[in-house]
Structures are given as C-alpha cells and as structure tokens.
Amino acid sequence: MSGILGAGAQEYAGFDDVFHACAFCHDFIVADGILVAVKFIHSALIKVIFVMSDKPQKTFYFHDYETFGKNPALDRPAQFAGVRTDEDFNIIEEPLVIYCRPSDDYLPEPEAVMITGITPQIALERGVIEAEFTAQIHQAFSVPGTCIVGYNNIRFDDEVSRNILYRNFYDPYAYSWQNGNSRWDLLDVMRACYALRPEGINWPENDDGFPSFRLEHLTKANGIEHENAHDAMADVYATIAMAKLVKQAQPRLFSFLLEHRSKHKLNILIDIPAMGPLVHVSGMFGAARGNTAWVAPLAWHPENKNAVIMCDLAGDMTTLLDLNPDEMRERLYSRRDTLQSGQSPLPIKLVHINKCPVLAPAKTLLPENAERLGIDRQRCLENLQLLRQNPQVREKVVTLFAEAEPFTPSDDVDARLYDGFFSDADRAAMRIILETRPENLPALDLTFNDSRIEPLLFRFRARNYPATLTDAEQKRWMAHRQTKLTDERFQNYALELESLYNLHEGNVEKMALLKALFEYGKKLVG
C-alpha cells in the first residue's frame, strides 16, 4: 500500500493521514495506473485525493525535421513532425506538424529546398516564429517517460533540436535524460538487424550492390506505404512502421537494443581490463562490411567520460605497436585517400556511450553472418591476442587523445553551442528570459557570466520579436544582416541557382522551386 500511496496526496501531512482519509472514501478508481481515492458527500464530488505511481507512463515520441540546409547550427528548420506512441507503437496522441518561419538574416540552401519542396515562402505563410516552434517541440519532448526516436536523429535531428533549444534559451540536453526520458535511433537498429539478425526483413540494395538503409528504400522493399518521402510526417509514419517490423521479425534483438540505448547498460558490457571483445555496428565502418566490426575496448577517453577508445580488430595492429602517439595522431586525422601507398589507417574509433551506439557481446555476430559480411573472425581473435600481449598500447592511445582534436572556434554565436555548459546563475537568467513577455524583454536588467548570452538574446529578439528593438538595436541588426547577406554572397547564390536551373531544365517542379528561391533572396537582400 505504501508503494502506491505517496507524496501525491498533498492534502494530508503523511502516509497515516492519507490511509485514514481513504478509509472514509466511498470509492476507489484506478485509471491509467493512477489510484484515485474519491470522497462523495450527498452524491456531490467534494475532494479527490490522487496518488500517482513513481514511474511515468513510458512512451515513444517519433519525430523528424525537414531543414533548409545540412548544418544543424547555421542552417534553419523548415518543418517538424512528431507523434507519440505507446510501447507497442500504437499512436496515442494527435500528430504535431509545424513549420518554422525563416529569419531575415538567412538564405536557404537550394539543394535542401529541392529535396523537401518547402520554399521559404511556404514556411513564412504556414509557419510560426522559431521561439514558438521551439516551445511546442520542447513541450512534446519533455513529457516524463518519453523516448525520443527518429531515423538518423542522433547525428542530425537531435543536433537540430539542441541548436534550436540553445538559440531559444532552453536547456539543450535535459529533455533527453530528465524525468526518465531517453533517445534512440532507428537507423542503427536497422543496420544492426541487417548485420546480426537479417531474417524476416527484405534488404534492398543500392546501385553499388550494398545494402541501402535509406528509409524510402526500406519501406518500398517491405511493402510499407511511404508516399511523399521527405515530408516530415510521412517519414515519421514510415519510421514507426519499420520499428514495428523489426520488433515483429527479431523481437529479442529489438529488446536488447532498446534496453542498451542507455549508457549505464552499455557500460556494463565494456570490460577494459580484459579488453573484452564486442560487436559494434556503425556507419563509420562502411557498407562493404555491413557497417560492422569486432572491437576491443582499450581505455576511457582521458577528457570525455562518455567516450571509450575502441580498436577495430580487423585493422592493422602494427600501426598501434610501431607508431608513437604523434605519428598516430597524424594518421588518425588523415583522410584515407591521402594516406601514402602501404600506409594503413589507424584502427581506432571513439565510441560515445551517450549517443546510443550499437554494442553487443562478440558472440552476437554468428559465424555465418561474419562470413556474409566478410569479417575474418580468426584474424580478429589473433589481433586481440596481440593487443593483450602489448598492454603499452593503452598508454599510447590515452596520450593520443589527451591532446584535443584540432578545432577552430567560431566567432558566430549561433555555432557555439558546444563551447561549454552554462553556469547555474546563467541558466536561472535564461529561465527569466523565457518567462518574460516579449514586450518586456527590453526592460530586463540581467547580468550574464557567459559571453554568448547577450548576443543570443539580441538575435532572439530581432528574429522573433523585431518590434521590441530600439532604433539603435535596429541599426545593429541591419549591420548584422549586411554581414550575412552581402552583395557577393547573393551573387554567388544567384549563380548557384542559375546552374541548378540549367541542370534541371525541363523539370517544372524543381525550376519553380529555384525561381521561388531567387525571388526570396532578391527580396531579402533588396
């Protein structure tokens, strides 16, 4: 009883009071896992004493963005679609479909518009300002017990989410871990299913003869309706259908991957002292071997507690044994096509356990699947033995990563999400910004420790609430726009549009999109 009746009964001082109060109730109602004690007097409802379970209802929130470009920080969202399902993927809420109005300091990327068909004019007509766009998404994501799911969302959509939250003064990370929340990516689930348990699903091939994991190819191959690919809501429904298919075809693998989306569960699999081998599925390994490798954990990253340094056991171990850390670093950051003849790439990969990587015990890769993927298990085992006989490799790779990866900081505040976490004081100030009515924003007298917040606040007001700008601020915004929309920039933009127009001559739809972009750009710069 005490596990059910808890802090939710706010009318009474403690458990005994709640218990005695319930003794006088005429009825108990249980709905959606919530025990409600209802007291009736003369058939009139006087008081409801409710006590909820400690655990929120677990749901999935499937979502997708269409954007005006490939860069999650510097390009802008065009459309968002999302819908909540229960644990069996039954839709339990009305879908959310919203467009975002582009700000007047930004030109959309033509290639992106030709893929989505969403022009800036459409987004302006149907959309809301980015502040409102972000607020609606944040509200949907922040429901307790939500697992936020997409298709390639870890690498793209989640970055779009983080950047709009950052620009609009929300915590860019909390939605995905607080209150029992989490995130998951169906793209790597599909890759893992193909590599480890392919039965029960049709796997289409691309023009190179490798498996294609494009959502529209998978849905077509498996008889799943997917009209209007690259419409956000259509992609959401297609992702839900693929999740159902994997759960039905390979329920054990599905459950394992779902459970091991958590970094705490993944941590249990990682045995660094023994270099315990694991199977790892990642697009970084390439389609030629089914995006799959046997790997051995060598050490935790010296600076990032969520990153483990893994060795690809199919690689050339001499690079780890013979090169010093400086030579290894040069090799690590060299593109494969720039390596000299006879040089092997460094068989080292960082695996970030907070990014839902696919890791499983090595035995999960069955011999017949290893053969199908071209993975030489015997060579991997020999390389593992070689590593265990040379533990000095650990020190070398830790030294390798102790020096930060070459990084050029941006002078554009929009691109500085990852410059560091905000202090508690700054987060408190940002909450005040969110709680303040737009017309009162100019009167806020706040002090910020982080140099990013003042320019973020200025841009937030200029993009969302331009009427709140003073004359001096309007001039400042005009100067900012002129640096973004120079004559040279627009001339190059127009040349790109012309080139694409000639390339797609005869394609009425694409030509209309390019014309719309030219008109929009001319008006913006005008």
User: 193-225, pLDDT tens digit by residue?
Assistant: 999 999 999 999 999 999 999 999 999 999 998
Q: What's the farthest any 2 CA atoms get from each other in the chain?
A: 91
**What was the pLDDT predicted at 405?**
73
The fold of the 262-402 domain, in CATH, is: PX Domain (3.30.1520)
CATH, domain range 58-259 = 3.30.420.10
The pLDDT of residue 56 is 83
Q: Evaluate whether 293 touches 365 at the Cβ level (below 8 Å).
A: no
Across the range 503-525, mean pLDDT stands at 96
Beta strands (DSSP E) in 180-254 are 182-185
Give just the sign of the alpha carbon dihedral 261, 262, 263, 266: negative
Q: Kindly report which listed range (53-62, 156-165, 505-514) carries the lowest average pLDDT score.
A: 53-62
Q: How far is CA 472 from CA 414, 447, 469, 475, 476, in A?
A: 22, 20, 8, 5, 6
Residue 63's φ and ψ, nearest 5 degrees, are: -150, 165
CB atoms under 10 Å from CB of 214, counted, come to 14
According to the model, what pLDDT value does residue 54 have?
Answer: 62
Distance separating alpha carbons of residues 294 and 196, to the nearest angstrom: 12
Domain 431-484 has CATH 1.20.1280.70: yes
Structure-token match 């700000």, residue found: 103
Considering the chain, what percentage of its residues have pLDDT values greater than 90? 83
What one-character DSSP code corresponds to residue 148? E
Per-residue confidence band for 39, with pLDDT thresholds at 50, 70 and 90: very low
pLDDT at 503 over 80: yes
Query: Annotated binding site: which residue ranges?
Result: 64, 66, 214, 235
CB 80 within 8 A of CB 232: yes
Residue 320 main-chain phi, psi, to 5 deg: -80, -35
CA distances (Å), origin 490, targets 120, 189, 525, 526: 16, 42, 7, 10
Question: The tokens 């159902």 sit on which residue?
Answer: 244
In angstroms, rounded to a whole number, what is the distance separating the alpha carbons of residues 79 and 126? 10
Q: Is the pLDDT of residue 24 over 50?
A: no
Binding residues for Mg(2+): 64, 66, 235
* pLDDT in the model for residue 339: 83
Higher-confidence position of 130 and 3: 130
CB contact at 8 A, 133 and 164 = yes
Q: Tell me what pLDDT residue 22 has.
A: 38
Question: Are the C-beta atoms of 86 and 115 separated by less than 8 Å?
Answer: no
- Mean pLDDT of all residues in 438-459: 96
Single out the residue of 402, 438, 382 nearest to residue 130, CA to CA: 438
Q: What digits encode the pLDDT tens for the residues 370-398?
A: 999 999 999 999 999 999 999 999 999 99
168-179 pLDDT tens trace:
999 999 999 999
Report d(CA 216, CA 229) in Å as an integer.
Answer: 6
Integer Cα distance of 102 and 517 in angstroms: 13
Q: Which parts of 450-486 fold into alpha helices (H)?
A: 453-464, 471-484
The structure tokens listed for 51 are 């006590």
Task: Please give the single-letter amino acid code of residue 322.
Answer: D
Q: Which has more pLDDT, 405 or 386?
A: 386
* CB-based contacts of 14, cutoff 8 Å, min separation 6: none
**pTM of the predicted structure, to 2 decimals:** 0.88
Q: Which residues pair with 34 in a beta bridge?
A: 31
Of the candidates 130, 192, 137, the one whose C-alpha atom is nearest the C-alpha of residue 184 is 192
Tens-digit pLDDT profile for residues 330-376: 888 888 878 887 888 999 999 999 999 999 999 999 999 999 999 99
How does pLDDT run across 73-124, given as a tens digit for each residue? 999 999 999 999 999 999 999 999 999 999 999 999 999 999 999 999 999 9
For the cut 90, the answer to whether the pLDDT of residue 37 exceeds it is no
CA–CA distance, 433 with 211 (Å, rounded to integer)? 48
The answer to which of 41-50, 108-117, 406-415 has the lowest mean pLDDT is 41-50
Is the Cβ–Cβ distance between 37 and 49 less than 8 Å? yes
**Within its chain, how far is the Cα of 340 from the centroid?**
36
**What's the whole-number mean pLDDT along residues 459-470?**
98
In whole angstroms, give the CA distance from residue 457 to residue 257.
40
Which residues belong to the annotated binding site for substrate?
A: 66, 214
Instruction: Determine how many CB atoms are found less than 10 A away from the CB of residue 365.
Output: 25
H or E, element range at 55: none
Q: Which long-range contacts (CB under 8 A, 24 or more apart) does 42-51 make?
A: 47/11, 49/9, 49/11, 49/12, 49/18, 49/21, 49/22, 49/25, 50/8, 50/9, 51/4, 51/5, 51/6, 51/7, 51/8, 51/9, 51/18
Asked if residue 416 has pLDDT above 90, the reply is: yes
CB atoms within 10 A of CB 283: 13
Mean confidence (pLDDT) of the chain: 90
Domain ranges of the chain: 1-54, 58-259, 262-402, 431-484, 487-525
Q: Give the C-alpha distances (Å, rounded to integers) separating 473 from 313, 457, 459, 481.
A: 58, 12, 10, 12
Q: How many Cα atoms are found within 13 Å in the side-chain-facing hemisphere of 70? A: 4
Per-residue buried b or exposed e for 487-514, using 16+ beta carbons within 10 Å of the residue's own CB? eeebeebeeebeebbeeeeeeeebbebb
Which of 15-19, 334-338, 409-413, 479-483 holds the top average pLDDT? 479-483
Report d(CA 225, CA 27) in Å as an integer: 47
- pLDDT over 50 at 40, yes or no: no
